[in-house]
Every structure is written in C-alpha cells, then in structure tokens.
Amino acid sequence: MDIWLQAAIYLATMCLGFLLKRVGIFQRENSSVFASIIFYATLPALVVSSYAGVEVTLWFMVAFFLGIFSNLFNLAAGALASRGRKPQERAIYFINTPGFNLGGIAIPFLQSFYPAGVPYLCMFDTADSFFTMGTTYSIAKLLFGQKKGILAQLREICRSLLSSVPFIAYLFMTIISLLHLSLPAPVMELAGFVGKANAPLVMLMLGVSFELQIKKEDLKDILSILGLRLACSVALFIFILYFLPGPALMKQVLAVCVFAPIPNLCMIYSHKIDSNSSVASTLNPVAIILSIIFMSVAMSLV
C-alpha cells in the first residue's frame, strides 16, 4: 500500500472516532474501554503473532539496546534544553522528551509495510517500556520534586512493568524464541486474527479521546519540546541508517520508529508530578498527528 494512502487512512480513522464522539455515539470516557481492549487483547496478540517463525538473533539485542540508547539520548537532550528553568518546568522536559509510543502508534502503523520487522520493534519497545513505565518519571521526582527512596522507585518501576500485558508478551515471546520453542498453531492463528484489530482500534481510540486546547502561554514550551524531539529523531534516524550495523529491514523499521509520538503515560506522569499539566495534555494529541506525518516521510526516505 502507498505510504501516504496508509497515513491518510490512519488519520481518517482517527477523524471517524472523533466524529462519532461529536455526534454522541461515544463519549471521551469510552476511550478507556478501547484502551483496555488494546492493552489486554489486541496488542499482546499482535506481539505474539509477529513472532511466528522468528528466530531471535544478535540483531534483536541490538534493537533492544538501541531502545535504551535512544531514550538516554533524548533524556540528555531534554536535560540540556531545560537548563536554567524552574524545577517543575524541567520535569516536563525530563518526562516528555524521552519515550516512544510504539505499541499504540508505530507498531500498528508500520506492521502493514514491514510485517517481518515487527519483532525488532517489539525489542526496541521492551527497552523503551523500562523508561516509559516509570524510570523517567522516577528520575524527575528524585531530581525535582517528590523524593522517594531509590529502592522504592525501583519497586514501583518493576511493579509497573510486570503489570503490563504487552511487556509480558514481549518477554515471553522472546524467551520461547531463544529456546527455539513455538506456540501451537491454533494459538498463533487466534493471535493473528485478534492482532489485526489493533491498528483500527488504536486510531478510533485516539479519535474518541482527542481534545486540543492550546493555551497561548503554553505554546512556547509545546513547540520547544516537539522541536527537540524532532531534532533528536532526525539525529537518531541518521545514526541508525548510516552508522548502525545490521540487516536492512532492522535499520529501516528502527529508523522510522524513532519518530513515534510521546507515550500516553507521559501525560499521566506529568500530572502526578504537579508539572504544567496543560502543556503535557496538549503535547500528546499534537505529537500523534505529527508523528504519522513524520513516519510517512521517514519511510519514503529509507
């Protein structure tokens, strides 16, 4: 399928969800139902089906460590860009500059073009989950606000990871692939069937939950963080394509996925830390729309 046609379909599905909300068929609160179906059913099923016939190699570990490196790179950029700001403002950068929404956006979008590349994305997302599900939030709390013991922070991160069904699916499928085991064919067929629903459900959910209220005083911070993420993504894109060794497929999917938007959890964590929540709330929907455009551009270049 043509890249831009696919992007248009995704955005149109998102608009459909928004329209269904506007006419009263759905309420914004219904997005939690979509999120639960995605989190507990379609995304784990997509992960399981994507590992069908896949043999885990060294390059999968490269994708994993690239996920760690990319988050640290963005985190360092956020720290540098926010120097001299108030602690609460710096926390916004620390939480929202790293992190990539792969499960919700990048994997559903890229699976149509690179079905064999999804396991690489899963490995990247496994590493990213470690940061997204509490690490950057814990760093922000330790540095700028609600201090808590390091052990308590680690327990919180581990609890968050081990309660994530997609993360467990990543871990489980990686382990059985390393052991050269496979799930029964009926299970894989069921996973493939359910996993196909992931992309449309994600975009409908985003449309139902979409709200855009930009305050004039927040515009500078919003543009700054979005611009910083874009600059980091371009740098990572160049590094992956031209300097990272590995199979062409791995480099292509990873180079595109670094343009994924800010994870939804970042908005939640921004609220928890008493940061400027209006900035975080606006960043998320804007980043989603821009990321689909940027990923489409990136795909046309790889």
Which residues lie below 8 Å from residue 250, measured CB to CB, with a gap of 6+? 59, 62, 63, 117, 120
Q: In whole angstroms, give the CA distance from residue 138 to residue 147.
A: 9
CA angle 119, 123, 289 (to 5 degrees): 85
251-280 burial string, b = 16+ CB within 10 Å, else e?
bbbbbbbbbbbbbbbbbebbeebebbebbb
CATH code where residue 118 lies: 1.20.1530.20
Q: In whole angstroms, give the CA distance from residue 224 to residue 259.
A: 16
pTM above 0.85, yes or no: no
Full domain range(s) for residue 61: 3-301
pLDDT tens per residue across all 302 residues of the chain: 578 888 888 889 989 998 999 898 988 788 778 888 888 888 888 888 877 767 778 898 999 999 999 999 999 999 899 888 877 778 888 888 999 988 778 888 888 888 888 889 988 988 888 888 777 877 777 766 555 566 776 776 677 677 778 778 878 888 888 888 888 989 989 998 998 888 888 888 878 877 777 777 778 888 999 999 999 999 999 999 999 999 999 999 999 999 999 887 777 677 666 544 567 777 877 888 899 899 999 999 98
Look at the chain and report how many structural domains it folds into. Answer: 1
Is residue 261 within 8 Å of 287, Cβ to Cβ?
Answer: yes
For residue 1, give the DSSP letter. Answer: -
